[in-house]
Amino acid sequence: MLDSATIDGLKALRLDAMAAALAEQREQASYTGLGFDERLGLLVDRELTARASRRMDRCLKAARLRSPAAVEDIDFLHPRGLDRAQILSLAQAHWASNRRAVVITGPTGSGKTYLACALAHAAIRNGHTALYQRARGCSTSWPSPAATAASPGCSPAGPAPACWSLTTCSRTRLTGDLAGEP
């Protein structure tokens, strides 16, 4: 009876993964040889892993990425002029930590959207938020990044995303802050 009360208590505390792991430990004899600290560590690890997975799923859903792209799936052998070292460096998302932008240009069908989604996915894996939006009818004057982040309706509820993935934009040359110039 004490086992079910403990499991119910864990569920009441919203520790569902820990409750499932405890039930699993009770059913399998291989856990009986472990000490209390080891078993507790396994329970806590299971809960932390489940929460991280749910957060990742929630952030990926909120990002509304156009494709389920991942940096690991990028074909560097295709002749697009991608620099493997540069893409892998961008995948570490230091640019998102520093509130910088990555602008991807290229001809139609070259994989700009896929690459943007892959970098946004990598930013989410590194603890940032992202938002994919298709930019329709972009004008030649771009708002500043600070104004864009403060614009109502541009991001889902909560703080502005660290990574914004825009596609189908202007043909004009980016200057100033948007081009990464001082």
Best CA proximity match to 163, nearest among 127, 109, 139: 127
Of 51-55, 66-70, 105-109, 117-121, the poorest mean pLDDT is in 105-109
State residue 132 phi and psi, 5-degree precision.
-100, 125
Q: How far apart are CA 67 and CA 70, in angstroms?
A: 9
Strands 163-167 and 130-134: parallel
Query: How far from 166 is each of 16, 105, 135, 181, CA to CA, in Å?
Result: 37, 11, 6, 20
**43: pLDDT confidence band, cut at 50, 70 and 90?**
very high
| pLDDT value at residue 5 | 86
Angle at 14 between CA 9 and CA 17, to 5 degrees: 95
Residue 145, pLDDT > 70, answer no
Angle at 51 between CA 48 and CA 54, to 5 degrees: 150
Residue 65, pLDDT > 50, answer yes
| Residue 107 or 49, more confident | 49
DSSP-derived letter for residue 175 is -
For the chain, give every domain's residue range: 2-57, 71-179
Q: What percent of the chain has pLDDT over 90?
A: 10
**147: pLDDT confidence band, cut at 50, 70 and 90?**
very low
Residue 47, pLDDT > 90, answer yes
Cβ atoms of 124 and 60 within 8 Å: the answer is: yes
**158: pLDDT confidence band, cut at 50, 70 and 90?**
low
Q: How far apart are CA 77 and CA 38, in angstroms?
A: 46
Residue 58, pLDDT > 70, answer yes
Residue 143, pLDDT > 50, answer no
Q: How far apart are CA 144 and CA 68, in angstroms?
A: 29
Q: What is the pTM of this model?
A: 0.63
Q: How far apart are CA 16 and CA 12, in angstroms?
A: 8
Cβ atoms of 129 and 162 within 8 Å: the answer is: yes
Residue 165, pLDDT > 90, answer no
